[in-house]
A and B are shown apart, each in its own frame.
Chain A
Amino acid sequence: MIDLHYDVFGNKKLAGPQNKGPEIMITVILVIFALAVLIPLVLPFFFVFKTRLEYNYDPWGLPKAITFDSFRDAWIAVHIGEGFINTLIVCIGAIACTVPIAAMAGYVFARYRNKITEVLFYVILMGYFVPIQMVLIPLARTSAKVGLIDTLPGLFLPMAAFGVPFWTMIYRSFFKDLPGELADAARIDGAGHPGTFFQVMLPLAGPATVLAVLLVFMGAWSDYLLSLIMINNSALFTIQLRVSQFLSAYGVDNMPQYAAAALISAAPTILLYILGYRWILRGTLAGALKG
C-alpha cells in the first residue's frame, strides 16, 4: 500500500541510546558525508570571481578584484537562456501527456477490475521495466520517417509513454485507497461514469497529481539521452543539450568561465529542490515503497 502522507520528516522520536558518545561521533561522520555532497557544488564559487589569467597563475589564490565577467561569458557560451524555453515546453508537454493518461488508466484499473482490465494493467505495467535503450534505434528511424525527429513533441511524446506505466501504477494504488463509497454516492446521485471520475474522484486524487506533475517535470528537465537522440537542430536544444555542448566545445581551458557555467546550469534545479524537497522526497518514496 502506498502512503502518500508518509511524513519523511517524521518526528517519531525513538528511545535514543543513553550514551551520548557514539551519537556525537556518528553526527560528525554524517556531517562529513553531507559536506562531501555539498563541496562539488560550492567549490565553483572559489573560482568564478577571478579572471582566467589569475586562475592559470594561481588557481587557489585570492582574486585581486572580484569580477562577474565569467558569469556573463558563461551565460553567452552555454546559451542556457535559449535552452530554457525549449526545456520548459518539453516539461509542459511531458506533463500534459503523462498525467491525464496515467490518471485515467489508473482509475479504471482500480475501480473497474475484471479479467480484461487486469490483463491490460499488466500490459502497461510491463512497460515500466523496459529500458529506453531497447527502443532508441526504431524510435529514431520511425520518427525520422514521420517527421517527429527534430521537433519538441518528438521528444516529449516518447518521454510521456515511458512515464505512463509508473504513474498508472501510482494512480491505481491511490484510487484503490480512496473510499469506494464516495464514487458509489456520486453514481446514485445520477452522475455517469465520466462525471464520477472527473467531478468526484479526480479532484480527490489531488495529492497524487501534484506528485506526478512535479516528478514528471523533474524527469523531463533532467533528460539527456532521449534529447540527444531526438534533437539535432541546435535551435531546439534543451538546457541539458546546451550544457553537454558547452562541455565538449569549451572544456576546462577557461576555468572561471567553466565554473560559472556549472553554477548557472545547476542553479534552477537546486532552486527547485530547495522549494520543493519535501514533495520531491515524498513522491520518490511513494513510488519506491509501493508493494
Chain B
Amino acid sequence: MSDIANAGVTELGTRKKKKDWNKALFITLMVLPAILALGAFMYYPIEETFRLSLMRSTGLNVPTFNGLKNYISLFNSEEFRAGLLHVFVWAFFSILIQIPLAFFIAFSLVAYKNRVTRPLRAVYYLANVLPSAITAMLGVFLFSGANGIITTLAARLNWVWLAKIDWLGDQNIAFWSVFMMATWTYTGFPIVYLMARIEQIPLEIREAAELDGATGWSYARFIVIPMVTYPIRVLAVLCTVGSLKLFDLPQLMTKGGPGNATKTLGTILYNQGFVNWQYGSAAAVGVIIFLLSLVFTIAQFSWQHKEGSE
C-alpha cells in the first residue's frame, strides 16, 4: 500500500523534474540569441574599447599599454576641447529652444483642436523621420554660401547684408546653421511625446481647472506644466545624450569645419579612428561619450525613482 503510494509520488516527481528541465531548456533557447547578439556586438566591444583607450594603437602596429596618455593628449588638444564645449552648448540650446517650442506646439495642438490643427501633428513629425543624410542635403541646399537658396534669395531681394553671410563657411555661424537644421528635424519627437503626455491628463482635471477659472494659458502654466515636468526632464536628458552622440549632421554638412567650428565628440571619434587610424585615441573618445551619457541616464533614473515614490 505504502509502496504504491510511494511509487506514485516518485513518478509524479520525475515527471515534474522532467518538465522543469524542458522549461529550463526552453527559457535558455529563447534568451540565448539575444544574449549572444549583445555579447558579440555590444558587451565584448565595450570591454575592447575600454582596453584600447589605454593603449597606444595606430594602424597596423600591435597595441602597447600607455595608461591614460590618450585621455591626457585629448584634453590637451584644442580640437577635443572645442568638441566637448560644442556638445554642451548644443545640449543647452537644444533644451532651451526645442523643449519650450515643442511644449507650446503640443499644448496648442491639444487645447485648440480643430479641423486645421488636427492633421498638423503628422506634419510636425515628418521632418523627424527623414534620414539624417537627407536632412543634411536639405541643409546644404538652404545654407550653402556659394549657391544656397537663402543666399540667392537675399541677392535677388538686394539684401546685401544677408547675401554676404557664409552660413556654412563662417567659423562663427556654421555651428548655428547646423543647429537650425537639427532643430528643424529633431523638434518633431518632443512635440508628439509631450502631446501624448498632455492628452493623458484626465478630463476631470481640465474641467475642475476650468471651474476654478484656469483656462487657456493659465491652465497650461499652473496645471499642465507641473504635470509634465517628468516628461520634460526625460526630453532634456535625451537632448543631452543626443548631443553627446551627435555626428551625422555636422559630419555631412560641414565635416566638423570650418576649423573646429562644428566639431563634436562624434566627429572627433570618427576622424581619430577612421581617418587618422588613431584607434587608442578614438576609443578614449568613445569611453568619454559612454561615461557622460551614463551619468545623464542615471540622473534620469533617479528622478524616475523619486517620481514613483512620491
Inter-subunit contact A193/B125 (CB<8 Å)? no
Closest 8 CB pairs of A and B: A138-B48, A161-B41, A135-B45, A222-B131, A105-B34, A193-B26, A138-B45, A59-B152
Q: Do A30 and B108 form a contact, CB below 8 Å, given A37-B123, A259-B141?
A: yes
**Are the C-beta atoms of B114 and A27 separated by less than 8 Å?**
yes
Q: Is the CB of B147 within 8 A of A252?
A: yes
Cβ distance B155 to chain A, nearest Cβ, rounded Å: 8
Residue of A nearest to B281 (CB): A137
Q: How far, in whole Å, are A151 and B242 apart by their CA atoms in the complex?
A: 28
Interface of A is mostly: helix
Residues of A within 8 A of B236 (CB): none
Report how far A263 CA is from B110 CA in the complex, Å.
32
B196 pairs with A129, CB closer than 8 A: no
Assess the A161–B141 pair: CB atoms within 8 A. no
A197 CA to B188 CA, complexed, in Å: 37
Given contacts A30-B105, A59-B153, A262-B137, 8 further A-B contacts (CB under 8 A): A30-B116, A30-B117, A131-B286, A135-B41, A160-B37, A223-B131, A281-B122, A289-B193
Question: B216 contacts the other chain (Cβ, under 8 Å)?
Answer: yes
* Partner-A contacts on B (CB < 8 A): 22-23, 26-27, 30-31, 33-35, 37-38, 40-46, 48-49, 52, 105, 108-114, 116-118, 120-127, 129-134, 136-138, 140-142, 144, 146-149, 152-153, 156, 184, 188-189, 192-193, 196-197, 199, 203, 206-207, 210, 215-216, 241, 244-245, 247-248, 252, 265-266, 269-270, 273-274, 279, 282-283, 285-287, 289-290, 293-294, 297, 304
A240 surroundings in chain B (CB, below 8 A): 131-134
> B171 → chain A, closest Cβ, in Å?
20
Q: Are B141 and A44 closer than 8 Å at their CB atoms?
A: yes
Contact of A247 among B136, B142, B197 (CB under 8 A): B136
The count of chain A contact residues (Cβ–Cβ below 8 Å) is 107
- Is A269 a contact of B130 with CB atoms below 8 Å? yes
Instruction: Name the one of B117, B286, B297 contacting A136, with C-beta atoms under 8 angstroms.
Output: B286
* Complexed CA–CA distance, A127 and B34 (Å): 11
Question: How many Å lie between the Cα of A100 and that of B189 in the bound state?
Answer: 27
Nearest A residue to B190 by beta-carbon distance?
A: A288
Contact among B42, B120, B122, B252 for A277, CB-based, below 8 A: B122
Find the B residue at minimum CB distance from A253. B147
Given contacts A130-B290, A134-B45, A251-B140, whether A273 and B124 have CB atoms under 8 Å apart is: no
5 examples of A-B residue contacts, CB within 8 angstroms: A34-B124, A123-B38, A129-B293, A137-B49, A253-B146
List chain B residues, Cβ under 8 A from A37. Answer: 123-124, 126-127, 184, 188
Q: Is A75 an interface residue (CB 8 A)?
A: no
